[in-house]
Amino acid sequence: MTDYVMPLDAIVGQDELKLALALTAISPRIGGVLIQGERGNAKSTTVRSFAQILPPIALRKDCPYHCDPIHPFSFCPVCEQGTSETIMGQAPFIELPLGATEDRVLGHLDLEEVLRRSHTRFVPGLLAKAHRGILYIDEVNLLDDQLIDLLLDAASSGMAHIERDGFSLAYPTQFVLVGTMNPEEGEIRPQLLDRFGLSVEITTPQSIDERVLITERRLAFDQQPELFIEQWESSIQNWRERLVNARQLLPEIAMPTAILRYIAERAVQAHVEGLRADIVMAEAARAYAALNGKTWVDTGDVDVVAPLVLGHRTRPLSPPPPRGHNNSSSQDRSRDEAAPSPASSMPQSPKSSGVSAHHENIDSPGDGDDAERMIPMHLPNHLMASGDFGPWRHNAGTKKETGKRLLISRRLGQPSLSYLRGKNRKRRAHDNNAVLIDWPGTITAKIKRQHGTSPSHAWGRNDLIFRKSKHPRPVAVVFVVDTSASMGSIKRLGRVKGTIMKIAQKAYRKRAYFSLLTFGHRSARVVLAPTNKLGRLRAVLERMPARGNTPLWEGLQETALQLKKWRREVPWVFELYLMTDGKVPGITTHWDEHVVRARECKQALDQSPVHLQVIDADTSRIAMHWAKKIAQVLHAEYGTLEEGA
């Protein structure tokens, strides 16, 4: 079945997006296009349509990686022989799935080849397949930050570097990187936002005539796609010719100093950080001049591309604080808004954010900075005996170990095996990270040791190489909210909702998820399963009523059940906020009975990795602070609504 694509010029509007895609196709050094806008506005359709107008590329017949016949990949089995005929083919369009891993993107060791023939072979990833084409990421804001950084590096430099699984190589990656996102479904870190060369914001058309024209063309395309495409064939060919001519003309275009000064003035007026905007604006202006068949750049070219370059980089100037004003709160706020790296950005409880461990100096060339990235791990004996080599948690707080200890490198793509010697020194290790066996490194090292000797099929502890998981376990912030009638007085529930949103916004900036459970009116229920959509949380909070009594213990038992259920699907680490005024029926007269029930709930919650904090919602002038007493029984941290925010 033929997969038809709407012709680019048949898409109504989207002129800025079409221009941004064309500029990046002419000069991939621009660094990619970020498309922001609401769903249902043909963002993905426009990108796929643009892929169809890219000029055909020369390639070897049967080449799986779209190699340039003149400069093929060193690892391509077809082009390495050089015997296949050269043909013209369609530029590749590769879509990157959100669940893609680093080895899927960069490439990895062919384990089957290693096990069958004891031969190491590199399997290229999606970057190689997208060479000389388009790499498309839908909902790029939900992609792992480290992968986004890697992709942007490859797009702007035109090269991919891989140091993993015993391979050390680089290969060209000239592609148009395009990412789409709906800002309402999650933002992207400012540091990564700046890495995209161009940005376009798509809005829903409000013109009646424009909406009618869009619908008419869509219906005509769906009914007779072949006839519809044929009607637009001349515009498709016109786009291809313009792109070919522009690519040929680009090297001849110089940038006068006067134009560079004008670019610098535009960047300063926009209050952008750094110099990336200047460089991208200059390159985009050259590409725009080439697209229009010119060999020079003028201020008009700069004015056209400037909104695409500066739109996502412009910083509004904040007024200076009054004299004598303590601006510590604004500093704290800016610290909160600064997005940390993926490994440290998850919300961490004070009790589990780190554990002290005795480490020793490294008697090897990897001392110094590399030593700071090394952490000792021990393979548990019960796992060795059972053969269970899945991820397990590093327990650094148990009895003191003696003798040599295995050392694993945190360095990206370079698992290493060393041993610790010398004096002890303390380090910190994240409690929610997993220890994994580096199977490619283990198998490769085993085969290299056996080279020239009789093969041994016995595997011992010393054959295993481990690595620290680069990604911490996902964090879910769970709000357990008392929605009884007593919470609805004195606008108390409104303050609770405001506190929840403030905590959720901080968690969101740290790439965490959040969920909501409520208890009140003789029942407890899940209102929102773990999600990273702030809009969904805000919507359910607006509809959250307050009525009935306070079934606190039923709510905590239901929470414990849900945590276990969610943990079976995803290895969550939970940050739990219990928000209540503590006014449980009978708590003043039968406190001992409630203590027993609280301990039962605590025991149930402890079956999942959870950090519990009780937020006292009793804001009355004569508060009894039952929530504080409940927190003590639950061995939880305690805070008020003001402190929780």
What's the confidence (pLDDT) of residue 378?
36
Strands 33-37 and 176-181: parallel
Q: Which residue has the tokens 């604080």?
A: 321
Between 99 and 175, name the one with better pLDDT. 175
Report, as residue numbers or ranges, the catalytic residues: 276
Domain covering 1-55+91-206, topology: Rossmann fold (3.40.50)
Angstrom distance (rounded) from CA 545 to CA 394: 43
**In 3-state terms, the chain is what percent helix, strand and coil (to 5)?**
40, 20, 40
What's the confidence (pLDDT) of residue 265?
94
State whether residue 251 is helix, strand or coil. Answer: helix
> Do 399 and 380 form a contact (C-beta atoms < 8 A)?
no
> Do 47 and 339 form a contact (C-beta atoms < 8 A)?
no
What's the confidence (pLDDT) of residue 290?
93
What's the confidence (pLDDT) of residue 383?
34
Average pLDDT in the 524-542 region? 84
Say what the pTM is.
0.56
**Listed residue (529, 606, 541, 609) closest to 579, CA to CA:** 541
Average pLDDT, the chain: 73
Angstrom distance (rounded) from CA 635 to CA 613: 9
Domain ranges for the chain: 1-55+91-206, 246-315, 355-468, 475-644
pLDDT digits (tens, 9 = 90+) for 165-187: 666 777 788 888 888 887 766 67
Average pLDDT in the 587-599 region? 79
**Listed residue (504, 484, 623, 477) closest to 554, CA to CA:** 484
> Do 420 and 362 form a contact (C-beta atoms < 8 A)?
yes
Question: Residue 429: is its pLDDT beyond 70?
Answer: no
Average pLDDT in the 367-382 region? 35
The number of beta carbons lying within 10 Å of the beta carbon of residue 393 is 14
Question: Residue 117: is its pLDDT beyond 50?
Answer: yes
Fold match between domain 1-55+91-206 and domain 246-315: no
Question: Residue 554: is its pLDDT beyond 80?
Answer: yes
Maximum distance among all alpha carbons in the chain? 90
H or E element at residue 81: none
Contacts of 548 (CB under 8 A, 6+ apart): 484, 485, 520, 521, 522
Confidence band of 51 (pLDDT split at 50, 70, 90): confident
Q: Is 637 exposed, middle or buried (0-12, 13-18, 19+ CB in 10 A)?
A: middle
What's the confidence (pLDDT) of residue 186?
66
The number of beta carbons lying within 10 Å of the beta carbon of residue 325 is 10
Angstrom distance (rounded) from CA 464 to CA 439: 8
Domain covering 246-315, topology: Helicase, Ruva Protein; domain 3 (1.10.8)
Amino acid (1-letter code) at residue 257: T
What's the confidence (pLDDT) of residue 348?
37
State whether residue 252 is helix, strand or coil. Answer: helix
DSSP classification of residue 514: E
What's the confidence (pLDDT) of residue 433?
44
Angstrom distance (rounded) from CA 91 to CA 244: 13
pLDDT digits (tens, 9 = 90+) for 195-222: 788 999 988 888 899 899 999 989 998 8
Average pLDDT in the 295-314 region? 91
Question: Residue 529: is its pLDDT beyond 80?
Answer: yes
Domain 475-644 has CATH 3.50.50.60: no
pLDDT digits (tens, 9 = 90+) for 569-592: 777 888 889 888 777 877 777 777
Helix 43-53, helix 233-249: angle, nearest 10: 70
